[in-house]
């Protein structure tokens, strides 16, 4: 199965769905990433330029993905914090869906403006969810949309499912108990974003956040998604 994770920033794959992506890669699926921006604004440092930060973060993202067993990454070089759901963005995502022949898309949930009482969801995350929806349907599998993609050699393709990460109303939980350690190690590769990159501490926090209880009282660990069949 081909699984494509399309997100706004370096570190989004790991924070939003790292353990699930690690599990799917370990199970033999081909998992690839598309990072739409370079995360150029993700710092309060005064000694680094936006371009330098983007280069740094792309390197961190490559290392983090490798921890999860993922080596197929593409960077689209849009500007962090300035994403708009344009036809250009939809076309670029449709191109990557066709390139990857993605069966499953993973992206951030555009419906999440805030989660409970915990802050505001980054606008780029919300834009990404909508842009991915619009790139999937009808553009990715309709020759009347973006005919230039056909001219480039990217044939029509129809994904089967979307997993929206960071949902307010999840309907699917993926058992990731054996992969939270990998997720913690991967997150800690994002050293420009993580002030205390200690994998053991992060794994403890992630286990607390992923802890679930079944009706019979059994404890397990899961990442939550809003899953949509196409």
Rounded to an integer, what distance in angstroms lies between the CA atom of residue 124 and that of residue 33?
A: 16
Q: Which of 159, 158, 128, 161 is nearest to 142 (CA)?
A: 158
pLDDT at 127 over 90: yes
pTM: 0.95
The two most distant CA atoms of the chain are separated, in Å, by: 56
CB contact set of 72 (below 8 Å; sequence gap of 6+): 30, 31, 32, 33
The pLDDT of residue 112 is 86
Distances (CA, A) of 64 to 1, 84, 90, 195, 228: 22, 27, 26, 16, 27
Structure tokens at 124: 């780029």
Q: What domains, with CATH codes, occur in the chain? A: 2-229 (3.40.50.10320)
Give per-residue pLDDT as tens, 186-218.
999 999 999 877 888 888 888 888 999 888 888
pLDDT, residue 225, reads: 98
For 3-27, write each residue's pLDDT tens digit.
999 999 999 999 999 999 999 999 9
Predicted pLDDT at 201 = 83
- Is the pLDDT assigned to residue 1 strictly greater than 90? yes
CA distance 28 to 45: 40
pLDDT band at 151 (very low <50, low <70, confident <90, very high): very high
């Amino acid at each position: 199965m081909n699984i494509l994770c399309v997100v706004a920033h370096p570190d989004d794959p790991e924070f939003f769905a790292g353990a699930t992506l690690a599990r799917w890669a370990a199970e033999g699926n081909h998992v690839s990433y598309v990072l739409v921006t370079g995360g150029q604004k993700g710092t309060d440092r005064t000694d680094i330029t936006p371009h330098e930060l983007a280069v740094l973060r792309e390197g961190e993202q490559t290392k983090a993905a490798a921890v999860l067993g993922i080596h197929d990454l593409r960077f689209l070089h849009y500007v962090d914090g300035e994403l708009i759901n344009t036809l250009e963005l939809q076309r670029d995502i449709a191109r990557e869906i066709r390139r990857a022949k993605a069966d499953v898309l993973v992206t951030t949930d555009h419906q999440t403006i805030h989660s409970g009482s915990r802050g505001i969801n980054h606008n780029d995350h919300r834009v990404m969810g909508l842009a991915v929806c619009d790139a999937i349907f009808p553009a990715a599998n309709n020759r009347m949309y973006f005919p230039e993609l056909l001219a480039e050699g990217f044939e029509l393709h129809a994904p089967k499912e979307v997993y929206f990460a960071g949902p307010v109303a999840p309907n699917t939980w993926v058992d990731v108990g054996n992969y939270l350690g990998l997720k913690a190690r991967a997150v800690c590769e994002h050293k420009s974003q993580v002030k205390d990159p200690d994998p053991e501490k992060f794994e403890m926090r992630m286990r607390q956040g992923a802890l679930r209880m079944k009706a019979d009282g059994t404890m397990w660990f899961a990442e939550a998604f809003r899953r949509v069949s196409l």
